Amino acid sequence: MKIINTLKSVSLSVLPVLLVSAVLSLGMTSVAHASKWDAKMTPDEVEATLDKKFAEGKYSPKGADSCLMCHRKSEKVMDLFKGVHGSIDSSKSPMAGLQCEACHGPLGKHNRGGNEPMIAFGPDSTLSAEKQNSVCMSCHLDDKRMDWNGGHHDNADVACASCHSIHTDKDPVLSKNTEMEVCTSCHTKQKADMNKRSSHPMKWAQMVCSDCHNPHGTLSDSDLVKPTVNETCYSCHAEKRGPKLWEHAPVTEDCVACHNPHGSVNEGMLKTRAPQLCQQCHASDGHSSSAYMGNTDQGSTVGGNAFTGGRSCLNCHSQIHGSNHPSGKLFQR
């Protein structure tokens, strides 16, 4: 079956100039084994050959039909046509222009034995993440990805293909039901925190990583979607925003001073349970000597000490996030 018989009218003399800087990249497949050319060419030789192919611009006049003569037996390759990148009806799809070669580069003499390099993607590609990503960014450099350069994933040499699956019906990282699996495949510490007794409802996909973080980079710490940690938290916890008549300094400064947003073994995702958490700042007030005695009233009754039993300091200072009561200076009302 013909996929597309003729290419859209694209100036092949201009295209190499546009793509030469994007000379290698995240094509559309994640290969299971190293490519044939990787066994006999160094990464520098592969890159140099691809540079030369872009300069020559020898694209196939039959487009995807030339590629599928050999690759149509691969289920992974054919899955491309289930997703948006393989849509033959969309003017924005690679299939509307240079087709497979829009991402994998000019065919050249590749079909004569399959030994001439094409742009490969994924963990088995010898191309650098920067080279792989340059192909993706040639189309996807928009306002959502404008801060990619210099972001956490860019600095860590993470390739787009490490997170995104192109040859598929639905990209797992774009679904709330599977996004967590993709992110935590690398962020294992956060995965452990999310499974602790007190955490955000991420295990049930009621929240996802991208609710707070932009994986493509922002100008904020930790690639947060808002300018600050607190502004990000206030997106859901608006009641903590204030301003309050009586404010608690660490609350207005940074929520993570007391909380671990990914999860904790302590109630309310606190980094340390009270009174130890409170005593990190309030070590010399009038309660300190009693609080250090543990959770007993000097041994008379278990949990009998108001400073350590129940909610500890919060037994009295219940409005710890701030108070609007005229007599709430000590956050007791």
What distance in Å separates the CA atoms of residue 138 and residue 4, rounded to the nearest whole number?
22
Bridge partners, 121 (sequence order): 30
102 contacts: CB under 8 Å, gap ≥ 6: 94
CA distances from 190 to 6, 176, 183, 226 (A): 49, 17, 9, 20
Please say if the pLDDT value at position 11 is more than 50: no
Cβ neighbourhood burial of 9 (10 Å; 0-12, 13-18, 19+): exposed
- pLDDT of 251 over the 90 cut: yes
Contacts 24+ apart (CB under 8 A), 183-190: 183/209, 183/215, 186/158, 186/162, 189/262, 190/262
In this predicted structure, which of 13-17, 70-74, 193-197, 199-203 has the lowest mean pLDDT? 13-17
Lowest mean pLDDT among 15-29, 185-199, 213-227: 15-29
Check residue 97 and give its pLDDT.
Answer: 82
Q: Which residue has the higher pLDDT, 32 or 147?
A: 147
Amino acid at residue number 252: T
CA nearest neighbour of 209 among 261, 265, 256: 261
Map tokens 């350590």 to a residue.
308
Which stretches within the chain are classed as H helix?
Answer: 15-20, 43-56, 64-71, 75-78, 100-104, 129-140, 152-155, 160-163, 179-184, 188-194, 229-234, 249-253, 276-279, 288-291
Q: Rounded to whole angstroms, how far apart are CA atoms 127 and 22?
A: 12
- Helix ranges, 84-128 (H): 100-104
The predicted pLDDT at position 34 comes to 53
107 pLDDT above the threshold of 60: yes
Residue 3 pLDDT greater than 50, yes or no: no
Q: In a 3-state reduction of DSSP, which class is residue 11?
A: coil
